[in-house]
Amino acid sequence: MTTTDTRTESLIKDDAWAAMQRYDYETAFRDFSALLPSNEPDVLNALGWMCEMGEGHSKDLEQAAVYYRQSAQTGSQYGLLGLGDVLSDLGRESEARSVYEEGAAQGYTPAMCRYGRILVGDDRSPSERQQGVVLLQEAAAEGNILARRTLLGLEMKKSTSIVGKAWVGFQILRLVISGVPKFARDPLAPEVM
């Protein structure tokens, strides 16, 4: 908070969120930046997202990773997921994998899905692939649409008949269509991340 800003931290935060809703990211970034000393996860996540997306600030994935890491250190699952995603975007796959693994160990469904997707890759050992399938099944049981979609994709790969592939393709399409309203209601809900 600057010396000329007489607003309370609460009012600054409210103004920052209102600016986000108006897509006035420059104001939101300025206000959230004033709140950095509070070390609040939602402030750090907002700043991380704006740096990641280049909204209100130039796109800066390294700085986004700093904010998300700080948020994750406060226990924020969203910060942890954001950190993993940004590290992956930066090509730091082993670090991203470790972050997702940590989130999966905490039982965070989107992290289980991300880590499971890494483990089922063609370049993985059979035991890693099996571990990945188990994580994806756990995430899918929690309602995670991406995990369910990934499991269906694995099923499609195994299918040897055209009819089997078409049936799985139909199930994937149904899943995507059913997920659109959920995503529209809350794009940050664990079942759609």
Q: Which of 138, 132, 148 is nearest to 192 (CA)?
A: 148
Say what the pTM is.
0.81
Taking alpha carbons only, the member of 151, 156, 157, 119 closest to residue 137 is 151
Buried b (16+ CB within 10 A) or exposed e, 19-52: bbeeebbeebbbbbbbbeeeebbbbbbbbbbbbb
Domains of the chain: 1-93 (1.25.40.10)
Tens place of pLDDT for every residue, the chain, 193 residues?
Answer: 444 566 788 899 999 999 999 999 999 999 999 999 999 999 999 999 999 999 998 999 999 999 999 999 999 999 999 999 999 999 999 999 999 999 999 999 999 999 999 999 888 999 999 999 999 999 999 988 889 889 988 988 888 888 888 887 888 787 777 777 776 666 656 555 6
| 70 within 8 A of 39, measured Cβ to Cβ | yes
